[in-house]
Amino acid sequence: MAEFLTFTPTDIVDGFSVTAGTGALAGLGGSPYHPGGDQPVGVQITPDDTRAVVTTAGSNTWTVFTINGAGDLTLPTAPVGTGGANPLDVVLRQGVTNSVYIFNFASNSVGQFDLDTQLAIGTPLPTALGSATQEGVLHPNNNLLFANTGDVFSIAPATGILTAVPSSPFASAEGSTVAIDPAGTFLYTPVTGGVAVHAINAATGFLTPIAGSPFSLPGNAGVVSMALNGEFLYVTPDLNTMTHIFAIDPVTGGLTEIDDSPVNTGENRDTIVDPFSQFMYFVDKNNDHLGGFAIVP
């Protein structure tokens, strides 16, 4: 398994292999990689693990890499404009068409492209007025796209084109991230003083707050990340060095903080959970290091 991290000051993407059983990280042989633009920020791998897309916030571009058998990023394409300013995240969808959705922070918009041709498939769509468009997540059914701003978009199956669903945006979100459970039943977004949880109508995209939402935190939630088995949610408040760990009720979607929470992760910029939900990694932006924890079942 490979993980890729962006390092803005040096305009590179670093790649690591993850050792099964221990979670130890080792640099890939071809790392670091250069995406051909300034300030790489977002990086995502296609579901079939054959390609990676990197956004560069300083150049307002995105680049596609091929992933070889060793996990290295190779054969970068020429950078393409994102249709907006300061792209911070990218979401990839594979289907009848392979689509790229890019979240432009400074222009509060979502760009939409074809992954294979790198051509736009529609105009950039605006997100909630005055919001900070930073991250998105795809529904497991590949039919809905959720933004950290509370905006929800339906996805045309044949073309990948986005359309805002009725009543969107549904929530006022102040954090930079958003998370969805593996079944696509609940959506978790940072809000003032905690985390909002919404039940998802998988057919329409309509969001309904669950009982007890929002769940309180000491401060405003900035980063949320979910274990891929859907059992735990990791939440780091803005300007805080402690990450709170919540058990997720599989029926209601409700959150209960576990006994050993919180844990010190520095000023956490991002949290990554490995595909087997055995290890959690975090990026401490103040101390310029990558840390990790084993996840005890």
pLDDT digits (tens, 9 = 90+) for 61-107: 999 999 988 888 898 899 999 999 999 889 999 888 899 999 998 89
Q: How many other β-carbons are positioned within 10 Å of the β-carbon of residue 16?
A: 19
Q: What are the angstrom distances between the C-alpha of 114 and each of 93, 122, 192? A: 10, 10, 35
User: Count of domains in the chain?
Assistant: 1
Write down the pLDDT at residue 263.
75
Contact 106, 58 (CB under 8 A): no
Q: Give the three-state DSSP class for 10.
A: helix
Q: What pLDDT is stored for residue 194 in this prediction?
A: 84
pLDDT of residue 118: 95
In the DSSP assignment, the letter for residue 1 is: -
Residue 254 lies in a domain: yes
Quick check: is 106 in a domain?
A: no
Chunked into runs of 10 residues, the chain (297 residues) has average pLDDT values of 51 78 78 86 86 91 91 90 90 90 92 95 83 85 92 94 91 75 92 88 94 82 79 77 86 91 66 60 53 58
User: What predicted TM-score, i.e. pTM, was given to this entire model?
Assistant: 0.88
pLDDT score, position 294: 60
pLDDT of residue 221: 62
Q: Establish if 285 belongs to a structural domain.
A: yes
The reported pLDDT for the residue numbered 7 is 47
Residue 103: name the closest of 92, 113, 91 by CA: 91
Q: Look up the domain containing 190 and give its range.
A: 172-297
CA distance 111 to 232: 31
Q: Which amino acid is at 64?
A: V
Q: For residue 116, how many other CB atoms are within 10 A of its CB?
A: 12
Is the residue at 218 inside a domain?
yes
Task: Give domain status of residue 44, yes or no.
Answer: no
CA–CA distance, 17 with 269 (Å, rounded to integer) = 20
Q: What is the pLDDT of residue 24?
A: 76
Residue 141 is assigned to a structural domain of this protein: no
CATH classification of the domain holding 177 = 2.130.10.10
CA gyration radius, the chain: 18
pLDDT of residue 140: 94
Return the amino acid letter for 101.
Y
Within a domain: 267: yes
Query: What's residue 61's pLDDT?
Result: 95
